[in-house]
Structure 1
Amino acid sequence: MQNHFELFHLPQRFEIDTEALDRAYHEVQNQAHPDRFASASGAEKRVAMQWATRANEAYKTLKNPLARAKYLCELNGVDLQVESNTAMPPAFLMQQMEWREKLEDAHAGKDIGELENLEGELRAARKSELASLAATLNAGDYQAAAQGVRRMMFIEKFEEEVARVFDLVSE
């Protein structure tokens, strides 16, 4: 079975040409479109539907940088252990604590300006972490990349928390 990169005829690496991905996705979708199988047998229709579903899943995975990084790690035999491995470098743990304190203070004080500052810090951290993750993946160090993926997952989850508090404070 082809992996997602092979499905879309793309090189198996973190950096991808998103326009090429979009074109390849639309090409696969056109080939598997239900209208093309209107007079086909039930089995052929099911295969076309499975193909279209697989293309959707592959596209969604490759389009999202974090999902793409996870997928590359898994393709290279690295179990991300997202549920069981919560170990993080001490500096990142300290950063998490600082962010949590800022969020609690901003929430308690209904301080929209501080929430905006926190969002900016998280955007910068995401950008930096993504660049680091790309370099690690390009170097082929999938074990270290797994650690970067876990940090990115924390940042994304925390960004969602900040957005929820923003909504509460803005009401």
Structure 2
Amino acid sequence: MNHFELFGLAEAYSIDLAELQQRYRKLQQALHPDRFANASERDKLLAVQRTSQLNDAYQTLRNPLTRAEYILSLRGVDMQHEQKTLQDPEFLMAQMEWRERLETLAGDDFAAMDAAYKELDEQTQALQQALESDLQAGADEPAADTVRKLKFMQKLRRELEEIEDNAL
């Protein structure tokens, strides 16, 4: 049973996170190992395994990036072992520009930090929209490239947050 089936959801990039959380809590209550305290050792072990699978499925589906990777894996695209790098010269240039920008950014320059966050959020949102379109259209390779781009954007966000934290 795949993660979407476990929660009774359609396989889609765009899901209702509140509904996912509600279904997770309901399943968590039903499968919790404490409910099997008086059961056989085998049943206790199965309960622990099911709870672990449930938690893994929930963590995967609640994050848009891991959800997209999971959808691609269901379609036979293995993102974990893929050594392919992006061949998009425009995006590679944007990466270099972001790197230079982060190197010169001071965490106490709040206007520059806010502008960087805003631009990063706008670019990330545009990539997420492109990813959703690609996944809906079954364009798995472009979707995989967009996931790679989003991973870079996610890393940039963490670095930007680190710069801000170090200034405080």
Do the two structures share a fold, i.e. TM-score over 0.5?
yes
Q: One-letter code of the match for 2:145?
A: Q
1:135 aligns with 133
> What is the CA–CA distance in structure 2 between the aligned matches of 1:17 and 1:115, rounded to whole Å?
31
Measured after TM superposition, the shift of residue 81 of structure 1 is 5.5
Q: Which moved more, 1:132-141 or 1:26-35?
A: 26-35
Task: Indicate whether 1:26 and 2:25 are aligned.
Answer: yes
1:145 aligns with 143
Q: Structure 1 stretches of 5 or more lacking a match? A: none
> What is the CA–CA distance in structure 2 between the aligned matches of 1:124 and 1:114, rounded to whole Å?
15
Measured after TM superposition, the shift of residue 41 of structure 1 is 1.0
> What is the CA–CA distance in structure 1 between the aligned matches of 2:46 and 2:52, rounded to whole Å?
10
Tell me the secondary structure at the aligned position of residue 77 of structure 1.
Answer: coil
Deviations 1:109-168 (A, max 9, x none): 853321221111111111111111001101111111100100000000111111111122
Q: One-letter code of the match for 2:109?
A: D
Tell me the secondary structure at the aligned position of residue 86 of structure 2.
Answer: coil
1:8, 1:25 within 8 Å by CA — same for their partners in 2? yes
> What is the CA–CA distance in structure 2 between the aligned matches of 1:25 and 1:83, rounded to whole Å?
31
Judged with a 3 Å threshold, the aligned counterparts in structure 2 of structure 1 residues 131 and 33 are, in CA distance, closer, same or farther, namely same
TM-score by length of 2: 0.93
Tell me the secondary structure at the aligned position of residue 114 of structure 1.
Answer: helix
Q: One-letter code of the match for 2:66?
A: A
Deviations 1:69-114 (A, max 9, x none): 000001100122676122241111111112111111113x853321
Q: One-letter code of the match for 1:111?
A: D
Q: Structure 2 stretches of 5 or more lacking a match? A: none
Q: One-letter code of the match for 1:27?
A: K
For this pair of structures, how many residues does the alignment match? 168
> What is the CA–CA distance in structure 1 between the aligned matches of 2:72 and 2:58, rounded to whole Å?
17
RMSD over aligned CA atoms reads: 1.6
Task: Indicate whether 1:74 and 2:73 are aligned.
Answer: yes
1:14, 1:72 within 8 Å by CA — same for their partners in 2? yes
